[in-house]
Amino acid sequence: MKAMPAPQKPWSRSSITCGSELMNNSNRTALPVCQFISTGGTIAMKTDPAGNAPVPALSGDDLLARVPGLRHIADLRVQNLLNVPSDYMGPAEWVALHGAVEAALAQDDVAGAVVSHGTDTLEETAWFLDLTIASDKPVVLTGAQRNASEPDSDGPRNLLNAARVCIDPAARGKGVMVVLNHQINAAREVTKSHTSDVEAFKSGDFGLLGTVDDDRVVFARKPERRLRLALTGTALPHVAIVCMYGGADGSLIRHAASDGAQGIVVQALGWGNVNLAMYEAIAAAIDAGIAVVISTRVPNGRVRPIYGFTGGGKTLKNVGATFADNLSPHKARILLMLALQTAQSAASLQALFDR
């Protein structure tokens, strides 16, 4: 993996208590404890005068200091795990974050965990944690669409609301949640739907889990399609995503296969269809022992093996492709990576994606 750019300033403390200079010990111990894990992203960026552009700048301690109301909500223990744009997040970082979250939730006095994260890949990290964290304690991911130099930055409000969800008793058993703009979304369904709006995260056909109102947290539903796959090591299988588009020639499928991919997720069209060239490349990859999962570029709905023309979903199913149900290509990739830690038959993979 390429080396990460160093944060703009070093953080020497990996774990401190928020507001320790502002609250006495008796007040702190009366509050529920949440682990706050900072990973960077826009929420932790400020505009660099030299480049006139946002760059990583704030530690988790700095972030909490910008939200004085937090001292009345929870005792937040800070862990500065990373300070990178979420575009730099990937399997190695997910595994490290998983370890930090699991270690925190294993402590009896910790009610849950809040993770600050960039919004570009926030939904991927949330889904990875949802699949791999066994605890019923809440895990809440939050971020910001506007950096900390902007006068109307949404970061402080999102952090406050994330903490409120983290300590709410009704949040237990809901899996990993994404909280921004007063809205609570489930990890499986949520996706970033706008490049810049503060209300960027949506859950498609299934909608919100709940809202964070001024007076209380309100849950409307519970996510039913929960899965758990244990991590068996620190290195995850190599899985590529290849797009189908008008005129695709299958060369990217062949390249992924020759590059050592153990799995390939195809971002197909409609219900899960490709053209003849892509079909032939997919069939060859499956013959070579590579797991191929079919997703779609359409935002909502399931993929299904319906069409019978060569390259239609039914013909892809017939050659051994797995269908991703309603998972987006990037979420299907994460599930496939975790599944391929152990040997999987086509039937067992399909059963997993159907759950």
CB-based contact 179:158 (threshold 8 Å): yes
**Distance in angstroms between the alpha carbons of the first and the last residue of the chain:** 32
pTM: 0.92
More confident residue, 16 or 169: 169
Q: Is 216 exposed, middle or buried (0-12, 13-18, 19+ CB in 10 A)?
A: exposed
Task: Give per-residue pLDDT as tens, 69-112.
Answer: 999 999 999 999 999 999 999 999 999 999 999 999 999 999 99
Task: Give per-residue pLDDT as tens, 214-267.
Answer: 999 999 999 999 999 999 988 999 999 999 999 999 999 999 999 999 999 999
Q: Are strands 191-192 and 139-142 parallel, antiparallel or unpaired?
A: unpaired
pLDDT at 4 over 80: no
CB-based contact 182:147 (threshold 8 Å): no
Give the number of residues written for the chain.
355
pLDDT at 1 over 80: no
CA distances from 165 to 99, 178, 269, 272 (A): 22, 10, 37, 37
Q: Which of 17, 29, 39, 42 is catalytic?
A: 42
CA distances from 162 to 159, 177, 262 (A): 5, 9, 37
Residue with tokens 């809205």: 183
Residue 42 known to be catalytic: yes
Task: Give per-residue pLDDT as tens, 142-199.
Answer: 999 999 999 999 999 999 999 999 999 999 999 999 999 999 999 999 999 999 999 9
Largest interatomic CA distance in the chain? 71
Instruction: Specify the DSSP element, H or E, that contains 295.
Output: strand 291-296
pLDDT at 136 over 60: yes
pLDDT at 18 over 90: no
Which residues touch 240 (CB under 8 Å, ≥6 apart)? 256, 259, 261, 263, 264, 265, 333
Instruction: Please state, in angstroms and rounded to a whole number, the distance separating the CA atoms of residues 288 and 326.
Output: 26
Task: Give per-residue pLDDT as tens, 44-64.
Answer: 999 999 999 999 999 999 999
Task: Give per-residue pLDDT as tens, 304-331.
Answer: 999 999 999 999 999 999 999 999 999 9
What's residue 29's pLDDT?
57
CB-based contact 179:154 (threshold 8 Å): no
Go through the domains of the chain in sequence order and give each one's CATH number.
16-219 (3.40.50.1170), 239-354 (3.40.50.40)
Task: Give per-residue pLDDT as tens, 334-348.
Answer: 999 999 999 889 999
Average pLDDT of the residues of the chain: 93
Residue from 113, 7, 117 nearest 56 by CA:
7
**Degrees (nearest 5) of the Cα angle 113, 117, 119?**
135
Residue from 80, 78, 75 nearest 167 by CA:
75
Instruction: Please state, in angstroms and rounded to a whole number, the distance separating the CA atoms of residues 181 and 191.
Output: 14
DSSP at 100: H
Task: Give per-residue pLDDT as tens, 273-293.
Answer: 999 999 999 999 999 999 999
What's residue 13's pLDDT?
31
What's residue 318's pLDDT?
98
